[in-house]
Structure 1
Amino acid sequence: MTTPSSRAGTKGVPRADRERQVLAAATEEFGRHGYEATTVAAVAARVGVTKPLLHQYFGSKQDLYLACLDPVGDRLVGAIRSAMAEHDGGAPPTPLRVLNALFDALDGQREAWFVLYDSSLPPDSEAARSAAYYRDTIDDLAATGTAELLRTAGSHDPLDADALKYAWRGLCTALVRWWIEHPDQTPEAMARRCARLTAAAGVMLTAGGDHT
């Protein structure tokens, strides 16, 4: 006798496989269009299942969102922590390691970044609180990294650290958005591009300082 989790879904697709298809489609829909504009019917249509079947598998729209959010959030947080923990003397600087880790974690599902950073989530909902938890965790990790950079630069102003944390979040979001618009770019290509951009930014800032 089969268990509910191993029963076949529609058209002979095992339920576990169908659930993975639904989560992949829903993650893209939520990331691309936002929570408010995404409908369960649109996700069901993409996968080729009925709306009642999708509700049977995942429950409400919020339940479906949370089923997408948790693996994405865990994957991104884990990737950032691993990148920050590297101490290989030949490794890139911490900011570049973190960016490289983000690109690797988002490969094949680039829109997933915007599942976390979704401004259309209903206020005070479980979805909003769960997304805020992951964003706050990422911000805390960013604060640790930016504080180290500022100490190296001789700054101990907490507002400098706060401003740089927000600038870092904006940079990551802008780079991911650009990456989505350039689907031919691999994570490795993005890593090399970021290294070049960082080097160019350093040159520009140094050159600017020469004229002050």
Structure 2
Amino acid sequence: MVVHPRRLRPRRRQARASVLRPGGVRPLARYRRGPRRDASRDRRRPRRVLAGVPREEDPIARAEATFLHDDAARLLARVDEAGGPTGLVTHCQRFLADPVLDRLDLRDRFDAVVCCTDETGWKPDPDPIELAMAEIGVDPRADRGYYAGDGASDVGAAWNAGLDAVHVERVGHADRGRCVLGDRRVNRLDELV
């Protein structure tokens, strides 16, 4: 277990997701930054950057290109039948997430939707997950739950929030280039039903 360096909380399991590479397990942060390069020896063309002009996605185009996996729909239906609370925590900004939720008719399927921002925090920070848990009335000290996601930051956020981490391996670790380790790995969300 690797302690999340930005925030230490007493009496809480803190972790940062790790990846399995040939030669052993390494903290994910090492791979996020990429290899160190000597800028003076970099022979690539410099990228042109327009100062002050944000590069934004088209929310409607993103919503039209997004689909709901069948297994995710089955899991949501099962949770609806059981009456359990559900929350969604996404790295998508609100202006991108809202059209997707509307197009896929998912807005009413979640009791809480939290979009990561500088104010709410970014996964693997536990704050966005804890905010969603508070909105759905789940006490992490008294209630049990899990957080399912398809990335190492999802696993780290779950652990940092005191939840079990379910890694949904849709791509395959050979294609991803690393193996994400969680409490449980599934290929389809309906394996959790």
Task: Give me the TM-score of the superposition, normalised by structure 2.
Answer: 0.26
Task: Give me the TM-score of the superposition, normalised by structure 1.
Answer: 0.25
Q: Which protein is bigger by CA-based radius of gyration?
A: 1
Q: Which has the higher contact order (CA 8 A, sep 6+)?
A: 2
- Structure in which a larger fraction of residues adopt strand: 2
